[in-house]
Amino acid sequence: MLDTFRKLIQRSVFEALRLNLVGLGYTPDITTFVNTPEGFQDYNTALADIKQAKGFAAEIFNQSSPRGKGLKKVPRISLEYGAVFPGEWGSDGTPYPKLEEGSYKYYRDGLVSLEMNFICRVVVKDTIQERVLNQTVLQTLPPLSYVPYYSDPTNSFFVRFLSYTDLVDPTLDTQEFIYVYNVPDINPDSPLSVGFNSVPITEINFEIQTHLGINQ
């Protein structure tokens, strides 16, 4: 469950950044390409077309090995996620009711919350690239933000900014901007069904009405 939830957060952050970059027209919409060698060729052609039209094209990479990202093409945005560790709050495990399909179903939250940090790296070669990509990151992930879940955009999770630094690589003539974020309220075990239901009151019978004096 935890591994699934971690992957969900990774994909959700990636999707939020990707959609903003696609909206600005600086990266192709990967959902329009088939996952085949021919589709990958079409994707690279689309990157070249964007570069010719706008001056540069950018790629965004989610959590993967350095080998999986290939050569460090610039400009790019990449995401790296740390380990999950204990959070700052918890629950006493008391069941609580939720009305679903005409009856109350009981759930409980996990006993301890979890947290996870992640890094967003922006690598550029010039000022124009720096302005566009850093602005994309800051608009998508401001100091305090809620990121929609990839699987359910009607719900979201809290993300907060922790720190920032930048590095210059004179050998590659690139500048790297590093943003560190924290997801503080991970509760992958919430809610857990405790397995018993109760039916809500739909009407009050005559005897109770009389007793309470509400039948007049």
Residue owning tokens 């959609």: 19
pLDDT of residue 72: 63
**Residue of 105, 91, 67, 103 lying closest to 187 (CA atoms):** 91
| Residues in Cβ contact with 45 at an 8 Å cutoff, skipping those fewer than 6 apart | none
pLDDT of residue 140: 96
b/e map 20-57, b = 16+ CB within 10 Å: bbbeeebbbeeeebeeeeeeeeebeebbeebeeeeebb
pLDDT averaged over 10-residue windows placed end to end, the chain, 216 residues:
79 95 95 92 95 95 64 85 78 72 74 86 94 96 94 90 93 92 78 65 53 52
| Interatomic CA distance for residues 151 and 132, integer angstroms | 28
Give the DSSP H or E segment for 13.
helix 2-24
Q: Where are the domains of the chain?
A: 2-212
| Residues in Cβ contact with 24 at an 8 Å cutoff, skipping those fewer than 6 apart | 132, 136
CA distances from 91 to 29, 109, 182 (A): 41, 6, 21
pLDDT of residue 119: 96
pLDDT of residue 88: 72
Give the 3-state secondary structure of residue 30: helix
